[in-house]
């Protein structure tokens, strides 16, 4: 699309959420230690530490969010965030959504979430398994 249709990647809403643990624990899921020797680090952490989740959408011309929640992300909670995002975006006429990209987290890939995305964004969605859902 970029080469054939002159697609502007500046027209994509990129979305992501992050978990902030209230006890100071930092989730290093996406961090890697690179070195010539194994540091043999052991870090103890509680099984269920209290946390806050923040979700944000970033666009080349704006940001919507962050939206905060204390609960773990479920598809129902994610749809609530998407509804808030959509209502905020509708109020900002200069920030029209051309494409919407979300990560492939399991709660983001349920039939109910896909139905919402299809209704609101149509064929302007970039997400894992979405083409199978819509048949496009």
Q: Is 73 exposed, middle or buried (0-12, 13-18, 19+ CB in 10 A)?
A: middle
The CATH number assigned to the domain with range 10-19+50-135 reads 3.30.420.10
- The pLDDT value given to residue 39: 73
> pLDDT digits over 8-38, tens only?
777 788 888 888 888 776 666 655 666 788 7
Contacts for 81 with CB less than 8 Å, ≥ 6 apart: 55, 67, 69
Phi, psi of 109 (to 5 degrees): -120, 35
H or E stretch covering 57 = strand 51-59
- pLDDT for residue 2 is more than 70: no
94-129 tens-digit pLDDT:
556 678 888 878 888 888 888 888 888 877 888 877
């Amino acid at each position: 699309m970029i080469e054939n249709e002159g697609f502007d990647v500046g027209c994509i809403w990129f979305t992501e959420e992050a978990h902030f643990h209230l006890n100071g624990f930092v989730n290093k899921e996406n961090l890697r230690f690179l070195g010539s020797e194994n540091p043999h680090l052991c870090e103890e952490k509680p099984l269920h530490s209290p946390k806050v989740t923040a979700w944000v959408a970033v666009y080349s011309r704006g940001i919507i969010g962050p939206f905060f929640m204390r609960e773990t992300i479920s598809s129902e909670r994610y749809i609530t965030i998407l509804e808030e995002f959509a209502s905020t975006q509708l109020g900002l006429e200069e920030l029209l959504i051309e494409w919407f990209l979300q990560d492939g987290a399991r709660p983001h890939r349920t039939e109910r979430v896909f139905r919402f995305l299809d209704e609101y964004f149509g064929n302007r969605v970039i997400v894992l398994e979405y083409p199978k859902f819509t048949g496009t």
